[in-house]
Structure 1
Amino acid sequence: MTSTVPDGPGTSPARSRRSGWWWLTGIALLGLVVVLVLQPWSHETEPLLPPTESALSTSPRSASPTAPTAAPSATPTLPPVPGAEAVFDDSTMRALFVRPRVLEDTVPAAQDGVALRIRSGELAWGLPDGSRVEPERCTAAVTVVTTAPAAFDARAWGNAGLDFTQTLTLLPDAASAAEAFRELVTTVDGCPRYRQVNPGMDGAVWTAEPAIEGQGVYPSIVQEVVHEAEGQRTPTFRGHLLVGNVVVSWTAAAPGDGDDLGARLATLGTADSLSMLMQERAQAAVQGLG
């Protein structure tokens, strides 16, 4: 009698085989999970890092729009000053002297006529013997230059209410005249008050307002000055002008006894009108050189 041994209580061979396959499948799934845990790069994306500075500078999306750069405006080219390089000599520079008829037509105090008081060639350059300026650094305010120029001339016109004096200081060339003019302007700016000590005289003191730039094309300055000498106070306009190789200096003074210095100064016209008078004479002299 053949007997069979049962596989187990209540277990059939087919069910046993199915249970084995599920076991093997579970082991395989567990191994896959372990691999995924140990190798995260196989199923995760890399984290985003903040962009580097170089990336910001090259990435079109991160670059900020560049502000438009304004085109540089062209610097206007000023026309050359006519006569800036003009070369006068000791004869031709006399064309820079103002004509008496122009003074009479321009300056209120000259309308009744003026007379020649200093002729060309009568006045020498520099201070009189024994005279000096205090402070010494202000000497050029009186003499225009501190060393003898190549040539010098002066002329003066006047009447009871006007003293108009003009001097011409000739330098070798336009460059040296320009340098002398710069030094003169510096001296004038730094000397609001100075005095000239003269032997046998009460002396002379100048008290000046700040110089202003004169009108016209040629470099020039004009200032109001009160001149005191021998107990008299005289309101004055004084100016300097550069034309080629000549420094033209002038004073228009209103002599008299009135205490109202402003009213006396007004009889001379204005700083602008006197400045333009000198500018026009300078242009005519340059044109006369040919």
Structure 2
Amino acid sequence: MTSTEPAGSGGAGSPDASQDSPDRRWWWVVAIVVVAAVAAVLLIVQPWADHETEPIVDATMTTPTPTPTPTTAAPTVAPSLTATPSPPPVPGADALFDDETVTSLFVRKPALEEAVPAAADGVETGIAVGELPWGLPEGSSVEPAECTVARTVVATAPPGYVARSLVNDEVDFTQELTRLADATAAQDAFRDLVTTIDGCPTYSQVNPGTDGGTWTAEPAIEGQGVFPAIVQEVLHSAEGTSAPAYRGHMLVGNVIVTWTATATAGGDDVPALLASLGTPESLSTMVQERAQAAVADLS
């Protein structure tokens, strides 16, 4: 009987059936295992693979401190020792005036008539040079006694003293020049004078049988100019009348220059009377300019 199965159908008795044996199936298993192993190796060695890159840190290990790159230190520059600048010396601080040259410190008439409104119409000499002696009249005193220097400039008779006044009906401008032995003595006397003035806002001069007058002063302010100076507003009362004034003191070499500008027109309008004298600054400047010229004349 002839078979009806086609040749090569893989029947159990055919040679092809023997090729699908278990040995053939193991070959495919081995191939799959090899491929998987190669893929695993590629995951490990390929840097571009998508896998965790953070290293595992052992808590028992200390992260080494990076060694700093040596740098060249900039040279240290020692600070310069700069001395505190001293104020420039006052021109004429050591000026030495004598009996003849000291009168050059008196303010000239033209300067007074220009600086003081009340003197604009002209002034004349009231007290001439040499007419007024230093100090208080015989028998007079100052109360309180510790304020005496505010009236006399120095406590004892100085080596030299001269005064002069220029006046008209509205103003009395008086200057007193107290000359000391040298600039050092004048500096000491000026310091004592300023201290006394600061402590004596009010003082009186007591004269036997007459009304000596009372001075009531505002606190002193610093004068304008190169020479040490102070200026005060003062109200002088005597014999029932009062007159406002500006009074200043200035140190020039061995001389203390004292000046008083008094409004003598009368009346109760104190601000208007003071305005007729100018300002403390303008008066101080006038006296300072005269002093600078006098010091220049000594050289």
Please confirm whether the aligned pair reaches a TM-score higher than 0.5, indicating the same fold. yes
The whole-number CA distance in structure 1 between the counterparts of 2:211 and 2:103 is 33
- Distance change (3 Å), C-alpha of 1:257 and 1:78: same
Aligned amino acid, residue 205 of structure 2: Q
Report the Cα offset of residue 72 of structure 1: 7.9
Among residues 171, 195, 201, which one is paired with 2:180 in the alignment? Answer: 171
Query: Paired residue for 2:291?
Result: 282
Over 3 Å counting, the alpha-carbon distance change for 1:70 and 1:135 in structure 2 is farther
The residue correspondences of 1:214-233 to structure 2 (distance < 5 A) are 214-233=223-242
Give the Cα–Cα distance (whole angstroms) in 1 for the partners of residues 267 and 80 of structure 2.
Answer: 60
Aligned-residue offset at 1:71: 7.8
Helix, strand or coil at the partner of 1:236? strand
Deviates more, 1:72-81 or 1:259-268: 72-81
1:261 aligns with 2:270: yes
1:200 lines up with 2:209 in the alignment: yes
Distance 1:72 1:254, change over 3 A: farther
2:132 corresponds to which of 123, 140, 145: 123
Query: In 2, distance between residues paired with 1:257 and 1:243?
Result: 33
Residue 98 of structure 1 is matched in structure 2 by: 107
CA distance in 1, matches of 2:210, 2:273: 25
Instruction: Answer with 82-91 or 193-202: which moved more.
Output: 193-202
Distance in 1 (alpha carbons) for counterparts of 2:147 and 2:191: 14
Aligned CA distance change for structure 1 residues 154 and 72 (closer, same or farther; 3 Å):
same
Matched, 1:84 2:93: yes
CA distance in 2, matches of 1:159, 1:247: 25
C-alpha separation in 1, matches of 2:137 and 2:214: 16
CA distance in structure 1 between the partners assigned to 2:230 and 2:82 by the alignment? 31
How much does 1:262 deviate?
Answer: 1.2
Q: How many angstroms does 1:70 deviate by? A: 9.3
Question: How many residue pairs align between the two structures?
Answer: 223
**Does residue 148 of structure 2 align to residue 139 of structure 1?**
yes
SS at match of 1:138: helix
Equivalent position of 2:12 in the other structure = none
Following superposition, the deviation at residue 198 of structure 1 comes to 1.2
Corresponding position of 1:27: none
Residues 127-165 of structure 1: CA distance to partner in whole angstroms, max 9, x if unpaired? 001111000000011100010000100000010000000
Offset at 1:200? Answer: 2.5
Cα distance in 1 for residues equivalent to 2:267 and 2:81: 57
Kindly name which structure, 1 or 2, has the bigger radius of gyration based on alpha carbons. Answer: 2
Are residues 1:191 and 2:229 paired? Answer: no
Structure 2 residues not aligned, in runs of 5+: 1-77
Q: Which residue of 1 aligns with 2:25?
A: none
Which amino acid in structure 2 is aligned with residue 111 of structure 1?
A
Report the CA distance between 1:75 and its aligned residue.
Answer: 2.7
Where structure 1 has 5 or more consecutive residues not aligned to the other structure, the ranges are: 1-68
Q: Which residue in 2 is equivalent to 1:248? A: 257
Aligned-pair CA distance for 1:195: 0.2
Matches of 1:74 and 1:150, distance apart in 2: 39
For residues 242 and 261 of structure 1, what CA distance do their matches in structure 2 show?
A: 29
What is the Cα deviation at residue 204 of structure 1? 0.3
Is 1:110 matched with 2:119? yes
- Runs of 4 or more consecutive aligned structure 1 residues displaced over 6 Å after TM superposition: 69-73
Q: CA deviation at 1:83?
A: 0.5
2:244 maps to 235
Query: 1:168 is paired with a residue of what secondary structure?
Result: strand
Matches within 5 A, 1:8-87: 75-87=84-96
Q: Structure 1 vs Structure 2: percent identity of aligned residues?
A: 62
Q: What amino acid sits opposite 1:211 in the alignment?
A: A
